Structures are given as C-alpha cells and as structure tokens.
Structure 1
C-alpha cells in the first residue's frame, strides 16, 4: 500500500440499493412486454413518433434521454478532483479498464459471436447492427449506478466521486473517437457529425446543466451534499419514467422482429454476460495483485464493469435509428446489467477479507 493510500481514512458510504434499482430488470422486462403489445396494437402511433426527427435526432427520445441523464449529472462534483491523488492506484486501474481494455474486448466479443459463432442464425446485415450496439455499450462507462455499487460494497465515497468526475471529462473527448475507430474496424460507416452531435447532446449539455444546478443548490446555503441528495431524489421519478418510456418505445418499434425471433434477446445477452464477468475479473484481480484497499478495489472493478446504457441507447438511436438492431442491443444491456452487477457485489463482499 502506498503512503498516499494509507494517509486517507476510509470513507464507507452506508446505504443500499433502492426499490427501483433492485428490481430494474423486472421493470425493464414489463416495459418490453408493454412495448411489444402497444407496437402491434398501435403501429400508426409509433410511426408518427418515429417521424419526429431533426438532424437524425428523434425529439421524443431526446427528451426521454435528457430526463434520464440530467439527474445523475447533478450528482457529479468536479470539486472532488482536488482528491485525484488520494487514491491513485484505483483511479489508474479504472481509467485503464474503462478506456484501454473494455471497449476493445467488447468489440472483439461482438465480432466473435455475431460474425463467427452465431453466423448461421443471424444475417450479416443484422449482425453488423448488433455489433454496433455492443460497441456503444462497451465504450460508455457507467455514471449513475456507480454510486449504488459503491455504497453496496461500502466503498470510498470520495474515490467514487473522483472516478465519476474523471470519467465524464474523459468521455467528452474519448467516446466519439473510440466508437468511430471500432465501428470503422468492423466496417460500419458512421457519420462523424452525427456522433459528435450525440456527444454534445447527451454528455456535454446534461453535464453542464448538472454542474449549473449543483452551483445553484450550493448558493442556496446549508449542506450542499444534502441539498443535492434532496434534489436528485425529487427528480428521480422523472428519470425512471424516461428510462421505462424509452424501453417501451424501442420495443414498440422492434415488436415484430422480437416476436419472429424471440431467441434474439438471449443471443445478444451472451457476449454481454461474458464481457461483464470478464472485465470484473480483470479489474478485481489487478486490484488484488496491486494491493489496493478493498474500499477502493471493489468500486474500481464494479465501475469498470457497468455501462452508461442511457448514452449507448441515445447514440444508437441517433446513428442507426429507432428500429435498428443497434438500438435493440443497447436495451438488452439494460436488461442484463442489474442482476449481473448484484451478483458481482455479492461476490466482492464475500471476498473482502482477501484485501488490505
């Protein structure tokens, strides 16, 4: 353990996963069913919603994505960057896993499964779409649920804030080039202007709005963290509605495809599951070998494993459309993530004694 690691007292963040987060996969599954039913019952409505576009941005989906992303951006505290040197090992591991490992392993698994293993079951055109969606998930490190996973392992709260803040800054500059590179390697043509517009709309603007809101809450006096917690708690229902409504829309558009090929969801989930458990093993194992304290090692590995699925969904829709296989693949990521992450939280807590 380095001197800098030893000099900072652990700051466990007691708390637990909320009712919505705990059963997120159930709500998503119910929204999928609702989307399939409504898509087949009211096709004209979904066609009208799909037509509400400006510069390849669907206005309905844009509003829903902002409703999802904005509350989590209010929780980001850039003042926490003053602690960037307090837990250097965990931060180094997280940056390496999130930006130098995870996007490329996800792309490799996507190509392996959809161009080789599943090649006899899926057409090449559809395979390219699913690959694109998985790449978008792999290149979007988690922002919102990070705090939940950290709390469940009693992680260092300050480190978690630093990690989220650093990740968001890196994401502004690195997300578009990494996605463009990986999609280009897989022979998927991506218009740069659309990709950059997506970064501005779904990362930069919500991040700026969150920072301004946080400043406004700080000026109101009192405990800023408590004020932020109250504010995000008040707007959380809007975020929940945004997520579930987006899932309903996506599966409303994809209804006929899913009904014709129900096994498709399982096929998309396979590389996602391998990626999630594999990335966790890499990050958690590296943290153990480097003697990183548990209250940093566990959040570090969990943060690297989870995805910013709201961003992935939004960009998939902007690049490929509401009815695309890429959009479908990103939504499957939402369905898979919570049960996987809860299983990893349980594993981390059971192995706590092996860390310093």
Structure 2
C-alpha cells in the first residue's frame, strides 16, 4: 500500500496502521480545512466576493471545480458492468425512495417546527435543506465507510431524477400546503424544474460520464487489472483533495456569516444533528433488518442522511436573498454535516464486525 493510494479507513485494528497519513488523520484534515476556511473568510477582506464573482449554475466556480474533482475518482472506481445487480434489488431501491423522499423531508419539517418555532427564517431554510437530497458528498462518505460503490451510483442517480421531478412540488407542499392544513405559518420557494435539472446535470452528470468513459476506455485499451491497480491508485487521492478544497472554499465564502452569529448557528445546528443521527440510524437499522448486508446497508444509511446543500443554498439565495436567515440555515448545513457524517463513517466501520456476511461486491 502506497501513501498516495486512496484507502478507506477501517475499524480500529492493525490495518489502521497501514493507512496513508491523509486517511489516518482524515477528521483532523477536515477540521483544519473548516477552520482555515472560516479564518480566511473572516480575515481576508473581499475574499468572499472574489470567490463568488464567477459562478456555475449559481455556485461559486471554485466550489464547482472542487465538487467535480471530488466526485470523479469515486465514480471512476464504479464497476458499471455490475449495476444490474443493484437495479434488481427492489428492497434497496424502495427503501431508499421511502427514506429519501418520504421520511427525510417529513422529519426535517417536524424538527424545524418543534425546535425552531420562534425562528421562521431558519425554520424555512432547514425545510429547504430537507428537500434537497444528496447527490455529491454522499459518494465520498459511502466510499470511506466501505459501502457498495455501484449501489451508491444507482441511488444517487435515482435521487437526481426525483430531485428534478419532485423538489419544487415538495417545496410547495411542505412550505405552503401542509402548514395551512396544520394552521401554521405559510411561505413558498422559487425553484424551477429546469434550474434543478441543470444543477444535477452539471454536478452529477459531468463526473458520472467522465468516470464511465475512464473505465470503459481504460479497460478496453489496457485491461481491468491495469485500470484498478495502476490508474485508480493515481487518481484516487484526488477525491479527498477535492473534498478538502471544497470545504475550505465553502467555509471561506460563509465564514463571516457563521462566526458573526454563533448563537444562531447553535440553534440551527441542533435540529441538523438530530436529523443526521435519526436518518443515518434509521437507514442503517432498516438495511440491516431486511438483510441487505453491510455494504448496501451502509450505502442506504449515508444516502438517507446526506443532503444537497449546494442546491439548498442556491434556492434559498435566489428566493430569499444572500443575507437571509434561510440562506444562513443552508450555509450552516455543511458546517454540521461534514463532522457529523465523518463521525458516522467510523460508527459504520465499528458496526461492520456485527455482520456475519455481506451481499454485493467487496471492493479492492
């Protein structure tokens, strides 16, 4: 094992000693990246404006590049010839749809109203976050936790399709219709189907096509053995480099907003932490209960827990303004999600020993 290779962390055992420095201290690097971003945003005047000057689909160009770099290596590892084994798993697909599009939005709606009854702007922002299902960073968390890459690719693609079709309608339901039925305050969002589809095409479509072509052309010209033993170890580390870069830029853009309102951040963080714990725990328990095996149970749990904060932030800014409480709630999302899901990676790996067998492929 070389230091440059991307190795996924394992539960504490002698194997951990063979991990690269990057992987062994991953939580430290992520924490430092968050701190560096916050300090840069706070201490360097005009940095946020400079980073936001050029945008791709409403997202800062540096963040867009970081997301693409982050997602490509993991999608290049997917064995696309095995996707049929995932699409035929109805338990996995139905479970994912229920958790992501029924349980997730309803849980965030309930938590937002229960824990933020006096803060309507933050409450609305969190509900928007709950509607934006993850299509990006979940791939990284799943890979680090030794989940099923092929299953992650299929579930992310499925989420993307439902996001295009259902986001605006669910936003109308949870922000206008349901509060009206319950006698609560009503609001609304401005998010067209095309805007959402474009975001999916850019941030998922590009790295997905690139990953598919890399494997197809690489295996055709040099063979699978060369592709997985020579090519993948070279591009693999760029997934974590892209993740760390994205975190630095994201927090640099929002550093002032986060550090200037610490009490508000704390209020927003509470429902987010509860949400991540319940969604991940519920997904993991459900997957284990129906016998999916460790790899696919892990994939189901992280897909259920993750959210597309890029989309949520873009919608909040477009609808309520960059300085709004709704936008701040979206910005706080990754501040809480990143350390929470990194911690859940290690929880998942610790639970791995409880599985007596695993269904689906074991990745090299």
- TM-score category (smaller protein): 0.7 to 0.9
String of CA shifts for 1:198-220, please: whole Å, max 9, x gaps. Answer: 01101112111111111121023
Task: Map 1:56-71 to 2 at 5 A.
Answer: 56-71=58-73
Task: Map 1:1-356 to 2 at 5 A.
Answer: 16-17=9-10, 19-21=21-23, 23-53=25-55, 55-84=57-86, 91-120=89-118, 123-137=119-133, 142-150=138-146, 160-185=148-173, 186=175, 187-222=188-223, 224=224, 227-228=227-228, 230-287=230-287, 289-290=289-290, 292=291, 296-307=292-303, 312-321=308-317, 324-325=327-328, 326-349=330-353, 351-352=354-355
In 2, Cα distance between equivalents of 1:33 and 1:219: 44
In 1, Cα distance between equivalents of 2:225 and 2:155: 20
String of CA shifts for 1:258-308, please: whole Å, max 9, x gaps. Answer: 223324555444444434443455445445554x2xxx4222322122149
The alignment covers a number of residue pairs equal to: 323
TM-score normalised over the length of structure 2: 0.75
Q: Which runs of 5+ in 2 are unaligned?
A: 1-6, 11-18, 176-187, 360-364
In 1, Cα distance between equivalents of 2:242 and 2:109: 31
Question: Higher mean Cα deviation, 170-179 or 192-201?
Answer: 170-179
TM-score normalised over the length of structure 1: 0.77
Q: Is contact 1:140-1:312 (8 Å) kept? A: yes
Q: Is contact 1:217-1:228 (8 Å) kept? A: no
Q: Which SS does the other structure have where 2:262 is aligned?
A: coil
The 1:167–1:225 alpha-carbon spacing in structure 2 relative to 1, beyond 3 Å, is farther
Question: Higher mean Cα deviation, 142-151 or 55-64?
Answer: 142-151
1:74 shift after superposition: 0.7
In 2, Cα distance between equivalents of 1:146 and 1:337: 10
1:73 shift after superposition: 1.2
In 1, Cα distance between equivalents of 2:115 and 2:80: 44
In 2, Cα distance between equivalents of 1:249 and 1:161: 27
The 1:276–1:54 alpha-carbon spacing in structure 2 relative to 1, beyond 3 Å, is closer
In 1, Cα distance between equivalents of 2:260 and 2:112: 18
Query: Match of 1:8?
Result: none
In 1, Cα distance between equivalents of 2:31 and 2:358: 37
1:98 shift after superposition: 1.9
1:67 shift after superposition: 0.8
In 1, Cα distance between equivalents of 2:106 and 2:284: 21
String of CA shifts for 1:190-242, please: whole Å, max 9, x gaps. Answer: 132221110110111211111111112102323x1552354333223433232
Q: Which runs of 5+ in 1 are unaligned?
A: 1-13, 152-159
